[in-house]
Structure 1
Amino acid sequence: MAEILSQQQIDELLGSLQSGSVDFQEMETQSSGPKVKEYDFMSPKKFSREQLKLLDNIFDNFARMFSLQLASMLRISCQMEILQVEEEEYREFNNALNDSVLVAMIGMHNEENRIDGKQILLELSRPISFSIIDRMLGGNGSGCNIERDYTEIELSLMEYLFKQVLSLLKNSWANYIEIDHTLDMIETNSRLMQSIQPDESVAIVVIEITLEDLKGNMNICLPSTSLEEIFRVFNSKYVRMPRKDDPAVEQERKDIIMKGLRSSPLNVSAVLGKTQITLGDFLGLQVGDVVTLNTPLEENRIEVHVENIPWFTGVMGTKKKKYAVKIDQTL
């Protein structure tokens, strides 16, 4: 992640360049060294490379459809391109926003997979948004450098645009999972967006929008809590199962496993019958008392339990002067 320099740092750097105190050879040597990317083990990554690739595919499709939608609506050439898809903490995304923003809070819903209350953020840069508003009101789109808050009429126009986006988002996800989208609200103050925890991991999709000669960005913020259930459903449907081995190899593997299990000891018990008594009767039992079981005398059948699980039925008998059970049925 690139480090943002403060104005003071920039002034000091320019001053050093003008005074000649900067060693360019040293700077070149440092820049040509191995690139080291810091990793915070206290905040491990929540998104895998495959998941970020999936988001790239989904929103690349979304960018193509949205560019066609804007081009037909505004009657101008429009191009959109994904610049990057990366993971960062929400505080970093929020701190990079200006105080006055245009953010659509979009809900994600799927009743079948119990996906509800999940939310993503779609932020549109001010020049692009004011240019779109200008063209929707009949202008040429030049009125984009405006330093003021959005009016109610302008927000109504952007609400109409964001509602057009909902169907495009649904179509973009349709190849993987059916998700309905709703426009929950439009926020114009970045300091009031507190629906996401500051330390939560989010995936940021940066899309560059070109309206003729004007360029700006659209940032889509997808919290990990909103995507974890979606990724779970996706993995259960589309992740390939391990390839099965050759039948002969599989049978050999089973034989080896069974050979090792055959020597495992098992507890086998023959249950003559069961009954229930009260705690008072149990405490009053004496030598010579008779306890009646639930097994009728004429049946003369018992259950054989293997590791306390009923497995066979049999008949009680004797063999070599020891009690024995003859197995006659498998449960």
Structure 2
Amino acid sequence: MLVHENLARLLQSYLSAGLRSWVQINVRSTNQFTYSEFTQLLPNPTITLSFKINPLPGICLLEISHNVAFAIVERVFGGPGSDAQPQRELTEIELGIIQRVVRDTFGPMKEAWRNVAEIDPSIEAVETNPVFIQTGGPTEVVAAITLAVEIGEHLGHMTYAYPYSTVEPVLSRLSPQSWLADAKHMSPSEEDSLRRAVQGAPLPLTTLLGKTRIRLGEFLALGVGDLVRLNTRVGSELPVFVGNKLVFHGKPGVVGDRMAVQITRRGT
């Protein structure tokens, strides 16, 4: 997961600059399938590239949703990134554009994998029909990591599928514990890469405005414009939580047209 959270951040920066468009990428899910199950889940037509991450063995897959693919193609050709999406397969020229962009993203992929292995990714083939996708054995287990991708107004995904035979040689280095254990032996560039990956990790930040107790009947009768009296005095400090941990105290306010909280001191 750490590898692909780092990859999502690097791809976001790369595609934002390369496509000159607002791009947001986050890890959506991780799943485990057999190769057969994974290919059966692919749409038809599909946009799926098979690739290797030398020197690791096995064939990996990258499936790109049509929304993302058409958004990339449109931006590469200088289009405005309109909301309308064509309902058709990609042409050979458009598939060539996708292959070029994916090949360029191998740079961020190598950076994301650096703490695990020095890899050299290369595209093997691109298929639009899942029946013709060449993989390892149909029963081989694969790890599927889906990235949610937003390019302008277009929402879609990119899913990386890695067979067990590919990750087995570096399985011990894919755990967070191994990254922390290796921290003492990292070079300055590796330390900087890990630091940037950790700093980019999202954390939920919440502020508790106050508490109260009301009867169920009163709760059900609440409507727009009703007031609920809390146990917090006006102007008093509010607890600010990072995750479930009290970290700061602050005071509520407004910045522009948005509600905000001003940090006043650390939590105790």
TM range (shorter): 0.5 to 0.7
Report the equivalent of 1:202.
142
How far off is 1:188 after superposition? 1.6
Report the equivalent of 1:63.
8
Matched, 1:183 2:126: no
Q: Note the alpha carbon deviations across 1:158-214, whole angstroms, 9 max, x for none.
A: 111011111111111101221111111222211101323222211110110011222
Separation (CA, whole Å) in 1 of partners of 2:64 and 2:131: 16
Report the equivalent of 1:140.
80
How far off is 1:145 after superposition? 2.3
Amino acid of the residue matched to residue 226 of structure 1? T
After TM superposition, the runs of 4+ consecutive aligned structure 1 residues lying more than 4 A away are 232-235, 237-240
Pair 144,66 (structure 1): closer, same or farther in 2 beyond 3 Å: farther
Which of 151, 156, 162 is 1:216 aligned to? 156
Which of 15, 23, 43 is 1:98 aligned to? 43
Separation (CA, whole Å) in 2 of partners of 1:91 and 1:140: 38
Pair 80,202 (structure 1): closer, same or farther in 2 beyond 3 Å: same
In structure 1, list runs of 5 or more residues that go unmatched: 1-55, 241-331
How far off is 1:87 after superposition? 1.3
Separation (CA, whole Å) in 1 of partners of 2:143 and 2:124: 20
Pair 156,144 (structure 1): closer, same or farther in 2 beyond 3 Å: farther
Q: Contact 1:134–1:143 at 8 Å: present in 2 too?
A: no
Amino acid of the residue matched to residue 129 of structure 1? A
Number of aligned pairs?
Answer: 179
Secondary structure of 1:147's match? coil
Q: Note the alpha carbon deviations across 1:193-242, whole angstroms, 9 max, x for none.
A: 1323222211110110011222101111111111112226779x9496xx
Report the equivalent of 1:161.
101
Matched, 1:86 2:24: no
Pair 180,144 (structure 1): closer, same or farther in 2 beyond 3 Å: farther
Root-mean-square deviation (CA), in Å? 2.2
Separation (CA, whole Å) in 2 of partners of 1:146 and 1:77: 21
How far off is 1:92 after superposition? 2.3
In structure 2, list runs of 5 or more residues that go unmatched: 182-268
Separation (CA, whole Å) in 2 of partners of 1:128 and 1:234: 28
Equivalences for 1:1-331 in 2 at 5 Å?
56-110=1-55, 115-116=56-57, 118-142=58-82, 145-231=85-171, 238=178
Q: Note the alpha carbon deviations across 1:221-276, whole angstroms, 9 max, x for none.
A: 111111112226779x9496xxxxxxxxxxxxxxxxxxxxxxxxxxxxxxxxxxxx
Of the two structures, which has the highest relative contact order with CA contacts closer than 8 Å and spacing of 6 or more?
2
How far off is 1:149 after superposition? 2.2
How far off is 1:142 after superposition? 2.2
Report the equivalent of 1:8.
none
Separation (CA, whole Å) in 1 of partners of 2:22 and 2:41: 29
Amino acid of the residue matched to residue 111 of structure 2? N
Larger Rg: 1
Determine what percentage of the aligned residue pairs are the same residue: 26
Q: Note the alpha carbon deviations across 1:48-107, whole angstroms, 9 max, x for none.
A: xxxxxxxx1001101111111111111111100111112122222211111211112111
Amino acid of the residue matched to residue 122 of structure 1? L
Q: Contact 2:3–2:113 at 8 Å: present in 1 too?
A: yes
How far off is 1:146 after superposition? 2.1
Separation (CA, whole Å) in 2 of partners of 1:238 and 1:165: 26
Report the equivalent of 1:328.
none
Secondary structure of 1:100's match? coil
Q: Contact 1:101–1:123 at 8 Å: present in 2 too?
A: yes
